[in-house]
């Protein structure tokens, strides 16, 4: 079976529909003073796909993610989101557009319970004004119930029912990662960015996380872009892979194409200079 | 009942009432520290500025009258009207929101990502700026603040205790009002932060900036919000202190009393601020009562600070502060 990946939409071998381009990055260059973190990189992310960004340490993967989520502002290049060019935006504005993310070093609200953390993911779905919230009738009550329900769905999905009322600060690392994912998922994002979702996990936890990522994509149709430096995991998960090295893009394509790319092999295994 | 014990009870009650006033000032510090990690040295000045604005608006004073007179050679001082108290409080509250907005836009906005000490220095700058600005706006005379709160001895308590013990307790009505207002204020703040969208966002920002941004919370909005709330708390504290002792610039020094309160209660805890305030209030009154006569009195001037010092040694995070854990 052949698939034309340049078409507007196509169906993958496992029967998922990949739609048109959601996020298009054009010639992004990011500098910190004299250091070039990202050099003239372009790639796109399509609706419904799992897109991986891989590369050795220091390749600029996290910087790329921070550009997409608005935490860094690139000096050159354009970010196109859903067919229109994105003006310079602050991270919270990007989030309100429907981008959710997780962080490499976990950024959770440690003092709040798991449920409260996940509820913050839905803050932007609440429109009741202060007065309505104070009298707790009509819109405020309805919204709270709706949001609560949506959160419970996410909690069930990620299998964290048993810790809903636990303050996040007390949880072990692996569960924190999962709670952070839950918070991002609760926002029902049109693009979900995961910064090393499996970093520091053991094999079993990695398998769980892979399953969640696949299921999220399958059941909710969530578009996911993720960073990972574990090649094995990425190849099984993703539809397309971007490979970065020293701030440059050295490969882009399906896992098979990337696996056989000589530049990628060199970057990962090293190359002898003789 | 022995007379000494009755005295001690009266002193304790009065201490509790004084503690409420300390707690009101400390509350303003806690709010800002919790949400932005800034120790706002200027909180005491906010109290004075709020109180001055309230009196100025209420009595129909023309702002910057001195400045206007000097520049234009006029002799204006009052508009010639008085504003109803409720309206004046609303106007003063709005002024505090405006101050919060100005502070965020012209000071904090430019210091994002700077070390805490820089932000702390900036608030010292704010203290001095307002120290000059407030009198420039409203004049430097002692202003009399009267918002119609009951004052003087509470007859009911006096008579009741006299009938019970044969000795009437002296409790000031104003102190009772202050205690009720403080209780209402704290309840409202807790409800706001626990059950509203904005409150949730505020707690989120207090916990982790990056995470808050990633779920779509505007840090700027939250900072203006939290400085506005601190300004409003300052207004309430200003009304209470001002009604008691008149409004003048030296009122800002009550803020210094908030420091030991914070060390006792913890910088990040709202209940801590209240309980710390009460402990200091009662502690310094009782200490003066019991030990004062032996050492020549005036122990109130230092008791709170020494108590705070002892706390720093044994429990640096305060009674309710977050435990400080350092990983190596």
Segment A25-37, tens digit of pLDDT: 999 999 998 899 9
pLDDT of residue A7: 66
Distance from the Cα of A156 to chain B's closest Cα (Å) equals: 21
Mutate to test the interface with B, among A90, A120, A150, A168 (most CBs of B within 10 A): A120
* Spatial distance between the Cα atoms of B281 and B290, rounded to a whole number of angstroms: 14
Q: How many CB pairs under 8 A join A and B?
A: 78
Instruction: Give me the count of residues in chain B.
Output: 328
Model pTM score: 0.84
d(CA B258, CA B19): 10
* Shortest Cα distance, chain B CAs vs residue A124, angstroms: 7
For chain A, the domains span 1-98+189-274, 108-188
Interface probe, candidates B112, B198, B210, B214, chain A, greatest A C-beta count within 10 A: B214
Q: Does A181 touch chain B (CB under 8 A)?
A: no
Distance CA B89, CA B275 (A): 27
Long-range CB contact pairs, A195-199, < 8 A, 24+: A195/A62, A195/A65, A195/A101, A195/A102, A195/A103, A195/A104, A195/A226, A195/A227, A196/A62, A196/A104, A196/A227, A196/A228, A196/A229, A197/A102, A197/A226, A197/A228, A198/A228, A198/A230, A198/A233, A199/A104
In chain A, the N- to C-terminal Cα span, in Å, equals 42
ipTM for the predicted complex comes to 0.86
Please work out, in degrees rounded to the nearest 5, the angle formed at the alpha carbon of residue B254 by the alpha carbons of B250 and B259: 135
Check CB contact of B109 with chain A, cutoff 8 Å. Answer: no
Cβ of B214 and A123 within 8 Å? no
Is the Cβ of A73 closer than 8 Å to some Cβ of chain B?
no
In chain B, residues with a C-beta closer than 8 Å to the C-beta of A100 are: 214-215
Half-sphere exposure of B205 (CA within 13 A, CB side): 28
CA A104 to CA A37: how far, in whole Å? 17
pLDDT in tens, chain B (328 residues): 678 888 888 889 888 888 888 888 898 898 888 887 788 999 999 999 999 999 999 999 889 988 899 899 888 888 888 899 999 999 999 999 999 999 999 998 888 778 889 999 999 999 999 999 999 999 888 888 888 887 888 888 888 888 888 888 888 888 888 889 988 998 898 888 888 888 889 888 888 888 999 999 998 899 999 999 999 999 999 998 888 888 988 888 777 888 899 989 888 888 888 899 999 999 999 999 888 888 888 888 889 999 999 988 988 888 887 666 665 5
In which residue are the tokens 């490979």 written?
A243
Q: Which residue of A has its CA nearest to B195?
A: A133
Identify the CA nearest to B323 among candidates A67, A111, A33: A111
A1-98+189-274 has which CATH code? 3.40.50.300
């Amino acid at each position: 079976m052949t698939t034309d990946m340049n078409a507007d939409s196509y169906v993958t071998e496992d029967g998922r529909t990949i739609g048109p381009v959601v996020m298009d990055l054009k010639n992004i260059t990011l500098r910190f003073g004299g250091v070039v973190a990202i050099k003239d990189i372009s790639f796109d992310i399509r609706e419904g796909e799992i897109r991986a960004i891989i590369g050795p340490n220091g390749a600029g993967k996290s910087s790329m993610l921070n550009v997409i989520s608005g935490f860094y502002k690139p000096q050159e290049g354009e970010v196109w989101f859903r067919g229109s060019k994105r003006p310079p935006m602050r991270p919270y504005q990007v989030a309100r557009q429907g981008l959710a993310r997780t962080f490499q070093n976990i950024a959770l609200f440690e003092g709040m319970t798991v449920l409260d953390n996940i509820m913050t993911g839905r803050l932007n779905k609440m429109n009741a004004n202060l007065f309505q919230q104070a009298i707790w009738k009509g819109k405020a009550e309805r919204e709270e119930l709706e949001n609560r329900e949506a959160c419970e769905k996410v909690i069930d999905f990620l299998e964290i029912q048993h810790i809903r009322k636990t303050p996040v600060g007390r949880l072990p690392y692996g569960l924190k990662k999962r709670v952070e994912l839950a918070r991002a998922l609760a926002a029902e994002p049109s693009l979900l960015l995961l910064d090393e979702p499996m970093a520091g996990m053991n094999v079993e936890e990695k398998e769980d996380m892979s399953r969640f990522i696949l299921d999220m994509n399958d059941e909710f149709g969530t578009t996911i872009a993720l960073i990972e430096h574990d090649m094995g995991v990425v190849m099984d998960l993703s539809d397309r892979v971007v490979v970065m090295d020293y701030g440059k893009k050295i490969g882009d394509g399906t896992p098979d194409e990337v696996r056989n790319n000589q530049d990628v092999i060199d970057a990962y295994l090293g190359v002898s200079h003789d | 009942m022995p007379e000494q014990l009755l005295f001690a009870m009266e002193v304790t009650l009065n201490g509790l009432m004084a503690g409420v006033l300390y707690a009101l000032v400390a509350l303003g510090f806690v709010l800002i520290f919790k949400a932005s990690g800034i120790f706002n040295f200027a909180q005491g000045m906010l109290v004075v500025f709020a109180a001055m604005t309230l009196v100025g608006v209420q009595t129909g004073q023309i702002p910057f009258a001195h400045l206007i007179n000097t520049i234009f050679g006029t002799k204006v001082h009052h508009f010639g009207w008085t504003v109803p108290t409720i309206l004046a409080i609303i106007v003063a509250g709005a002024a505090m929101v405006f101050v919060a907005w100005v502070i965020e836009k012209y000071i904090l906005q430019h210091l994002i990502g700077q070390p805490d000490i820089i932000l702390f220095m900036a608030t010292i700058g704010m203290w001095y700026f307002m120290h000059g600005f407030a009198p420039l706006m409203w004049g430097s005379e002692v202003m009399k603040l009267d918002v119609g709160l009951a004052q003087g001895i509470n007859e009911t308590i006096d008579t009741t205790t006299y009938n019970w013990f044969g000795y009437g307790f002296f409790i000031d009505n104003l102190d009772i009002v202050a205690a009720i207002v403080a209780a209402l204020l704290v309840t409202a703040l807790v409800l706001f932060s626990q059950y509203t969208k904005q409150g949730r966002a505020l707690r989120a920002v207090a916990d982790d900036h990056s995470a808050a941004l990633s779920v779509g919370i505007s840090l700027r909005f939250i900072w203006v919000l939290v400085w506005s709330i601190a300004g409003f708390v300052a207004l309430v504290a200003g009304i209470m202190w001002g009604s008691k002792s008149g409004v003048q610039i030296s009122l800002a020094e009550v803020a210094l009393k908030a420091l030991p309160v914070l060390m006792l209660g913890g910088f990040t805890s709202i209940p801590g601020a209240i309980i710390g305030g009460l402990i200091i209030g009662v502690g310094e009154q009782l200490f003066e009562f019991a030990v004062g006569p032996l050492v020549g009195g005036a122990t109130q001037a230092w008791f709170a600070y020494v108590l705070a010092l002892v706390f720093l040694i044994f429990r640096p995070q305060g009674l309710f502060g977050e435990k400080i854990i350092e990983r190596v």
